[in-house]
Chain A
Amino acid sequence: MIGLVNEDNSRSTAIMGSLSVTDQAESLESLMSRYQQADEAAAAALVRRVTPLLRRYFLTQASNRIHADDLLQDTWMRLHRARHTYRPGEPVLPWVLAIARYANLDHYRKSSRRDAHERQVDVLPDPPGPAAPPSDVPDIDTMLSALPERQREVIVMLKISGMSVDEVARATSSSPGSVRQKAHRAYQKLREILSVPRRTP
């Protein structure tokens, strides 16, 4: 079991700083294989490339938005412990997101249990995000909050993480047909939202 290190990141920073252009261009699959072989540069490159994707995934999951950074670290610890289960040559993203969605689910379960025992005294506001320029389309929260959790998850993986239907099916332990069906229903709902005329501020 490894613990999170809150200080003395100089070693990792040095490695991150030394990431070459080759590392940036290398496929995630190749980096993952090198990470299994304890290659420090590959591990650092993998963290740097996968973290933004994971953060986006957690930020789009409404239930755990304010805990995105905690979840990010928890997920990396799980990925590290599970790295021997990655099969070299197979796509990395479904494997990563399969672990991330269970980290998200476990966190949700734990917080639900805790909330059942604790009385909430105040509602904390969402952390302020970057100021978005005026737009004639609804913001991402409005669009995603209209979708049920399973549809939201599928649409985020397909359209925001850029995964294929087969990859999403692997990540969610479901069939490609089920993924297509959820995506189709999500498109119907999003079409309704987008067809409502909005006033430009």
Chain B
Amino acid sequence: MTPDEIGRILAEAAHRALPEGGGDDRAAARAEAAILKDLHSVTPLAPSWLYILILVLLFAAAAVDSASVLGMAGLFALSPPQRALIFGALFGTASLAAVACSRQMRPASGRNLSPLAWLLATSLLALVFALLFGGYDLLHFVHDGIPCLVAGLSVAVPTGFAIGLLLRRGFVLDWSAAGLAAGVLGGLAGLAMLEMHCPNLKAIHVIVWHVAVLMVTCALGFLVGRVSI
């Protein structure tokens, strides 16, 4: 039996059980009356590419502005190839997060990225840091790490919140996925700021404390999104 034959049988069975025009017309009439009562002209949402651009600019502005206030010691401590690799990877991941955010604004606008994809992206960033930096001794590990975590979160959380506000211009169907994507982009802004600001190039410090900013805002975004459902 071919799929077409199965489809035909299914369609016929559906037609027998649920004929066209069957059901309660009052429900449709009530919905229609409510719609007509509140009917006014709306402007279609701007194209997705514009929102992607705005989100990427928001990420870059949050990272650069806050780093310029706190100091750019980290940027000067990096060699040109390290800068290219780190900021290239951060920009690429931020662009992906911006696409994911813009898709959340408009129903049926594309495939959702799974939480596993974000875990993979975070792991890849950690791998880049592990390849570029050395030093795994735990001297002053917590003492040096906490200020970085606090500084990173103080940039990441407001950025994520601003992204959440921008997402509200659309019609988000899945706030957990939208919160996660906003958390990723906000977290990346905090991480990028730390890479420009923090001159501590120990691999263990960067992988644990800097990447923790991203992990915390991801979890926070997801949880806030879930609670708001």
CA distance A55 to B40 in the complex (A): 26
CA distance A143 to B7 in the complex (A): 11
Q: Is the pair A138, B13 in contact by a Cβ cutoff of 8 Å? A: yes
Residue of A nearest to B17 (CB): A140
**Contact (A84, B45) CB under 8 Å given A11-B33, A98-B107:** yes
B32 contacts the other chain (Cβ, under 8 Å)?
yes
Contact residues in A for B174 (Cβ distance below 8 Å): 102
Contact residues in A for B24 (Cβ distance below 8 Å): 69
Contact residues in B for A38 (Cβ distance below 8 Å): 39-42
A196 contacts the other chain (Cβ, under 8 Å)?
no
Residue of A nearest to B174 (CB): A102
Report B22 CB to chain A, min CB distance, Å: 7
Q: Is the pair A106, B13 in contact by a Cβ cutoff of 8 Å? A: no
Residue of A nearest to B23 (CB): A55
CA distance A38 to B41 in the complex (A): 5
CA distance A72 to B25 in the complex (A): 11
Out of A78, A109, A140, name the residue touching B10 (CB < 8 Å).
Answer: A140
Q: Is the pair B35, A76 in contact by a Cβ cutoff of 8 Å? A: yes
CA distance A121 to B169 in the complex (A): 44
Report A117 CB to chain B, min CB distance, Å: 18
**Contact (A171, B108) CB under 8 Å given A4-B30, A77-B31, A102-B174:** yes
Q: Is the pair A76, B10 in contact by a Cβ cutoff of 8 Å? A: no
A-B contact count (CB 8 A): 186
Count of chain B residues with Cβ under 8 Å from any Cβ of A?
A: 53
Report B149 CB to chain A, min CB distance, Å: 33
Q: Is the pair A47, B31 in contact by a Cβ cutoff of 8 Å? A: yes
Residue of B nearest to A57 (CB): B18
Interface residue ranges of B82-118 to A (CB < 8 Å): 103, 105-112
A194 contacts the other chain (Cβ, under 8 Å)?
yes
CA distance A113 to B9 in the complex (A): 37
**Contact (A85, B170) CB under 8 Å given A4-B30, A95-B107, A171-B108:** yes
Q: Is the pair B42, A84 in contact by a Cβ cutoff of 8 Å? A: yes
Contact residues in B for A132 (Cβ distance below 8 Å): 16-17
Contact residues in A for B14 (Cβ distance below 8 Å): 56, 60, 140, 159-160
A36 contacts the other chain (Cβ, under 8 Å)?
yes
Residue of A nearest to B41 (CB): A38
Interface size class of chain A, counting residues whose CB lies under 8 Å from the partner chain:
35 or more
CA distance A190 to B33 in the complex (A): 40
Residue of B nearest to A131 (CB): B16
Q: Give the one of B9, B32, B112 with max A CB within 10 A.
A: B32
Q: Is the pair A59, B107 in contact by a Cβ cutoff of 8 Å? A: no
Contact residues in B for A159 (Cβ distance below 8 Å): 6-7, 10-11, 14
Contact residues in B for A87 (Cβ distance below 8 Å): 44-45, 47, 106
B19 contacts the other chain (Cβ, under 8 Å)?
yes
Contact residues in A for B30 (Cβ distance below 8 Å): 4-6, 9, 73
CA distance A60 to B23 in the complex (A): 13
Out of B11, B108, B112, name the residue touching A95 (CB < 8 Å).
Answer: B108
Interface residue ranges of A81-98 to B (CB < 8 Å): 81-88, 94-95, 97-98
Out of A44, A85, A169, A175, name the residue touching B171 (CB < 8 Å).
Answer: A85
Top 5 nearest A-B pairs (CB, nearest first) are A82-B171, A76-B31, A2-B38, A98-B108, A98-B107
User: What are 28 of the A-B contact pairs (CB < 8 Å)?
Assistant: A2-B38, A4-B30, A5-B37, A9-B33, A11-B33, A12-B33, A15-B36, A36-B42, A38-B41, A43-B32, A47-B28, A51-B31, A72-B28, A73-B31, A78-B171, A83-B42, A85-B44, A99-B107, A99-B171, A99-B173, A102-B107, A102-B173, A129-B17, A130-B22, A132-B17, A140-B17, A140-B18, A191-B6
